[in-house]
């Protein structure tokens, strides 16, 4: 089996050698899915995984825009249309200076499995730009988004490809992108998700990724007769996912003691309550400031510049910032401090070595493609509401989100439970996500 996985990865590396994040994501899937394929007669000789690692379409384009001083800038825009076997391409747009083809291909690849796990009919895609919204005025962001959409609009549509937000793309950016799509195509359709509530958005979509991550962790904890009540929770990030993960943990009686951004982390030993979280939401979503300001405002908090929060003792860790933010050393410290559960709110925040350490220690570990799938699942619910031209209540959407997260948890158990009673959620998520897409690809023939 080792030989088979190595031969497969050699081929992937030969074609994508300069794309480390993409190779990392494929390796993790190959290690769990190739042994499964070998046992299933129907997939033999069909080269399905090799077809899945090649994007159906990779679009790259120039985005030229003018800043407030009249200077012209050029950024690179992308859309990776990875797999459409089970539905239109679906996945977020990331605006961040680190964006490149490797990062977007890893995200698009993960998205295929994640979207399959949601049980909804969505293929996988991802896109974005190396544009940095930090420090830009609202007008500059608007001009960039409009320029980006003048090209992207040729490649997307409500039945073709439906983008959404990710790092650096929130409700402000989705509004500007939607406005330009509508103007150019002269149609009002559900071509993007994460829209404002008065123009086609779904209730609970802003909350969904963070809430969903906590619902997933709740399901995991339940298998050990545990819950969030009274638990100390360490969260990284302070953006969309981190904010709503914190909100849900607080509602469930947990004590959130950290948040972070790319500058460092804050620790508040008294706990971040709803009022303090409201301060963070205003700081990050409206004033677009730094998390260090939290420690200036609240005397109970300390700011640790240039550090990540994994050194803080906790029961549960929720990495909600970015890829590879938690490595082997961080994992060792978390384990030493008695952490019992890690659920990824971000995409691939834990390095492969960190994941192996959690598995070796047999603690509860959820990969992002399972635990953060609530965001895209609720995007799927937004698409349904747009098609039906109706709007569900907050309670209805939240109930559906909870059910979907429970279904994903059940699928992970079905495919990931080992004989010794330990659930390998990585294996479970990869195989469960693979099966649905592979079966659709088999049915559709070699295309």
Ligand X SMILES: O=C(O)CCC(=O)C(=O)O
Ligand Y SMILES: NC(=O)C1=CN([C@@H]2O[C@H](COP(=O)(O)OP(=O)(O)OC[C@H]3O[C@@H](n4cnc5c(N)ncnc54)[C@H](O)[C@@H]3O)[C@@H](O)[C@H]2O)C=CC1
Q: Which positions touch ligand X (CB under 6 A)?
A: 90-92, 111, 114, 164, 166, 193, 347, 375-376, 379
**Nearest of 367, 319, 366 to residue 109 by alpha carbon:** 367
Q: Which of residues 290-329 bind ligand Y (CB under 6 A)?
A: 320-322, 325
Please identify, using beta-carbon distances, which residue of 90 and 248 lies nearer to ligand X: 90
- Which CB sits closer to ligand X, 266 or 348? 348
Cβ nearer to ligand Y, comparing 53 with 320: 320
Whose Cβ is closer to ligand X: residue 92's or residue 254's? 92
Q: Which of 19, 166, 315, 382 binds ligand Y (CB under 6 A)?
A: 166
Q: Which does 325 bind (CB under 5 to 8 A by kind): ligand X, ligand Y, none?
A: ligand Y
Using an 8 Å Cβ cutoff, are 126 and 198 in contact?
no
Q: Binding partner of residue 91 among ligand X, ligand Y, none, CB under 5 to 8 Å per kind?
A: ligand X
Residue written as tokens 């994460």?
194
Residue 118 lies near ligand Y (rule: CB under 6 A): no
Can 329 be counted among the known catalytic residues?
A: no
Residue 319 DSSP one-character state: -
Which residue lies nearer to ligand X by CB, 161 or 315? 161
The residues in 337-356 that bind ligand Y, with binding defined as CB under 6 A, are 345-347
Q: Is 372 in the site for ligand Y (CB under 6 A)?
A: yes
d(CA 383, CA 119): 14
Distance CA 208, CA 376 (A): 8
Tell me how far, at minimum, the Cβ of 194 lies from ligand Y, in Å: 7
CA distance 255 to 186: 48
The C-alpha atoms of residue 368 and residue 343 are separated, in whole angstroms, by 7
Sign of CA dihedral 104, 105, 110, 113: positive
Closer of 86 and 242 to ligand Y (Cβ) = 242
- Minimum CB separation of residue 406 from ligand Y in Å reads 18
Tell me how many helices (H) and strands (E) the chain has.
16, 12
Residue 205 token pair: 């979509």
Q: Which is nearer to ligand X, 26 or 295 (CB)?
A: 26
User: Interface with ligand Y includes 261 (CB under 6 A)?
Assistant: yes
227-256 residues in contact with ligand Y (CB under 6 A) are 237-242
Strands (E), 31-190: 57-66, 72-83, 89-95, 124-129, 161-164
Nearer to ligand Y, 138 or 418 (CB): 138
- Residue in 114, 126, 195, 436 annotated catalytic: 126
Q: Which of residues 262-291 bind ligand Y (CB under 6 A)?
A: 262
The candidate with the shortest Cα–Cα distance to 69, out of 137, 148, 129, is 137
Partner touching 168 among ligand Y, ligand X, none, CB below 5 to 8 Å by kind: ligand Y
Interface residues for ligand Y in 24-43 (CB under 6 A)?
none
Task: Tell the residue number behind the tokens 């060792």, with chain if given.
Answer: 332
C-beta separation of 122 from 380 below 8 A: yes
What gap in Å lies between CA 109 and CA 229, rounded to an integer? Answer: 35
Check binding of 380 to ligand Y (CB under 6 A).
no
Instruction: State the nearest-atom distance from the C-beta of 208 to ligand X, in Å.
Output: 8
Q: How far is the CB of 192 from ligand X (least distance, A)?
A: 9
DSSP 113-148: HHHHHTTSS--EEEEEES---TT--HHHHHHHHHHH
Question: Residue 82's binding partner, choosing from ligand X, ligand Y, none, with beta-carbon cut-off 5 to 8 A by kind?
Answer: none
Question: Could you give the CA distance from residue 29 to residue 43 in angstroms, rounded to a whole number?
Answer: 16
Choose the contact partner of 319 out of ligand X, ligand Y, none; CB within 5 to 8 A by kind: none
Binding span for ligand Y by CB under 6 A among 117-125, 139-147, 165-173, 386-394: 165-173
DSSP state of 340: -
User: Cα Rg for the chain, rounded, in angstroms?
Assistant: 21
- Report what 193 binds from ligand X, ligand Y, none; CB cut-off 5-8 Å by kind: ligand X
Return the one option of ligand Y, ligand X, none that residue 218 interacts with (CB less than 5 to 8 A, by type).
Answer: none
| Total residues in contact with ligand Y, by rule CB under 6 A | 24
* 142, 232, 333, 351 from 328: Cα distances, Å: 40, 22, 9, 7
33 vs 175: CA distance, rounded Å: 39
Which positions lie near ligand Y, rule CB under 6 A? 165-168, 170, 209, 237-242, 260-262, 320-322, 325, 345-347, 372, 375
Among all residues, which ones are annotated catalytic?
126
């Amino acid at each position: 089996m080792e030989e088979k996985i190595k031969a497969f990865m050699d081929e992937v590396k030969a074609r994508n050698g300069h794309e480390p994040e993409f190779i990392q994501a494929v390796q993790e899937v190959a290690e769990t899915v190739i042994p499964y394929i070998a046992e299933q007669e129907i997939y033999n000789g069909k080269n399905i995984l090799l077809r899945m690692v090649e994007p159906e379409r990779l679009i790259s384009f120039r985005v030229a825009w003018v800043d407030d001083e009249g200077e012209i800038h050029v950024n690179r825009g992308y859309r990776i249309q990875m797999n459409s076997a089970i539905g239109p391409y679906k996945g977020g747009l990331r605006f961040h200076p680190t964006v490149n083809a490797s990062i977007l291909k890893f995200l698009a690849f993960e998205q295929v499995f994640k979207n399959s796990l949601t049980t909804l009919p969505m293929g996988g895609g991802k896109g974005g730009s190396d544009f940095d919204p930090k420090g830009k005025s609202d007008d500059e962001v608007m001009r960039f988004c409009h320029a980006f959409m003048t090209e992207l609009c040729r490649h997307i549509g409500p039945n073709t490809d439906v983008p959404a937000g990710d790092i650096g793309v929130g409700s402000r950016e989705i509004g500007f992108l939607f406005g330009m799509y509508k103007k150019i195509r002269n149609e009002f359709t559900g071509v993007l998700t994460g829209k404002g509530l008065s123009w086609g958005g779904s209730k609970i979509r802003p909350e969904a990724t963070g809430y969903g991550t906590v619902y997933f962790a709740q399901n995991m904890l339940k298998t050990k007769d545990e819950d969030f009540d009274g638990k100390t929770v360490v969260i990284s990030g302070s953006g969309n996912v981190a904010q709503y993960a914190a909100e849900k943990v607080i509602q469930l009686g947990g004590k959130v003691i950290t948040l972070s951004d790319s500058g460092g982390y804050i620790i508040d030993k008294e706990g971040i309550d709803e009022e303090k979280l409201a301060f963070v939401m205003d700081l990050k979503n409206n004033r677009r400031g730094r998390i260090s300001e939290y420690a200036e405002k609240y005397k109970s908090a300390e700011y640790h510049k240039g550090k990540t929060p994994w050194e803080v003792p906790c029961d549960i860790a929720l990495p909600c910032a970015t890829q590879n933010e938690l490595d082997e050393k961080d994992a060792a410290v978390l384990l030493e401090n008695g952490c019992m559960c890690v659920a990824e709110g971000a995409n691939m925040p834990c390095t492969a070595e960190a994941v192996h350490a959690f598995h070796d220690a047999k603690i509860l570990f959820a990969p992002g493609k399972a635990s953060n799938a609530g965001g895209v699942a609720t995007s799927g619910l937004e698409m349904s509401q747009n098609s039906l031209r109706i709007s569900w209540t907050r309670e209805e959407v939240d109930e559906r989100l909870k059910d979907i997260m429970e279904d994903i948890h059940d699928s992970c158990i079905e495919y990931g439970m080992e004989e010794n009673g330990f659930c390998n959620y990585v294996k479970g998520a990869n195989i469960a996500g693979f099966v649905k897409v592979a079966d659709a690809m088999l049915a559709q023939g070699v295309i």
